[in-house]
Amino acid sequence: RIYKYQAHGYAFSSLEELLRSLGGDAFVNMTQRSVAESLLEVGVTQRFVDDVIAAVLRSSYGQSVLVPAFAGAMSLVGAQGSTWAVDGGNKLVCSGLLKLTKANIIPARVTGVSLHSSEGRPLYQVHYEGSEGQGSAFYDMVVVTTPLHPSRSNFTFENFEPPIADFPGAFQPSVTSVVHGYLNSSYFGFPDPKLFPFASILTTDTPDLFFNAMDNICPVNISAAFRRKQPQEAAVWRVLSQQPLDKQQLKTLFRSYYSVQVTEWQTYPRYDAAKSLPPIVLHENLFYLSGVEWVASSMEMIAVAAKNVALLAYNRWHQDLEKIDQKDLMHKVKTEL
């Protein structure tokens, strides 16, 4: 539905309105109650939740079945196998879009936004620091695309009344370890590595476990001559954990290894840390994009939110209020067709 709405230029001024247009109050409620509670209500067994749903959520969001139902549903969709990868890395989506838009990119870190006015209209001064020192520029519209939460926000808003504050909430730390080595299949109950049948290993929510998931990774583009490594051969494994793996833990998972590459990052919101959704409109022509992650976090969700902000900014600028927060949009779209 959202792609149809956006193709016709419709936009939403809040995440709640966007969700309501797609699935009514049920979708909004899915951001306020856990995925476990929602699944149990429709007849899914507690054992299935503990053994399967928990494992999927640990491998994707690194969290438990207490995450909100909407984010949980997004995570479960990704477990069905019909997902896509970008050859060369997901970052190419961003660089490709920037190239297509022919944007004027200023290579600098934004440190703050201050409010001014010009002929009765708000004017936003964006302050930044680059290799050549400090600078600033004035804009009619600004879209903030970095999380405005205490653990991530590192710039300020000035001259706004009421002031724009950080939103409550925190982000989930995650560690990705890419290991080239020989799997210790005995640890998983297979003394003979030739008999190990799995390419992915998920874990349940057990305190003693030191990793969330691991999988045998292969190239995005698989040639006709490509052959996945046999379990007794050295292969490249990705291990997801909440803390860096120490040498003893690596020895537990691998008989031996050639190399380990570790990346620590703040991956997703901690979904049990905040119950309210952030706003999209921070000021008249100042918009916030990253709040959609608190509904569910994925590249597709961010892309949908980005187009919504672009349409919302355009419609508000041109005072086309008929294109904002309209009810019964499916009927309106059919009428327009």
- pTM for this predicted structure: 0.88
**Does residue 337 register a pLDDT over 70?**
no
- For residue 68, count other CB atoms closer than 10 A to its CB: 24
**Does residue 151 register a pLDDT over 70?**
no
CATH class of 91-169+273-336: alpha beta
CA distances from 146 to 88, 111, 287 (A): 24, 11, 11
φ/ψ region of 297 (left if φ > 0, alpha if ψ in -120 to 50, else beta) reads beta
Q: Cis before residue 68, ω within 30 degrees of 0?
A: no
Instruction: Indicate the pLDDT class of residue 152, thresholds 50, 70 and 90.
Output: low
**Does residue 237 register a pLDDT over 90?**
yes
Whole-angstrom Cα distance, residue 219 to residue 165?
43
Q: Which two tokens stand for residue 9?
A: 């230029």
Instruction: Indicate the pLDDT class of residue 147, thresholds 50, 70 and 90.
Output: confident
Which residues is 177 bridged to in the sheet? 239, 262
Whole-angstrom Cα distance, residue 2 to residue 7?
8
> Do 20 and 330 meet the contact criterion of CB atoms below 8 Å apart?
no
List the domain boundaries for the chain: 91-169+273-336, 173-269
Residue 3: strand, helix, or coil: helix
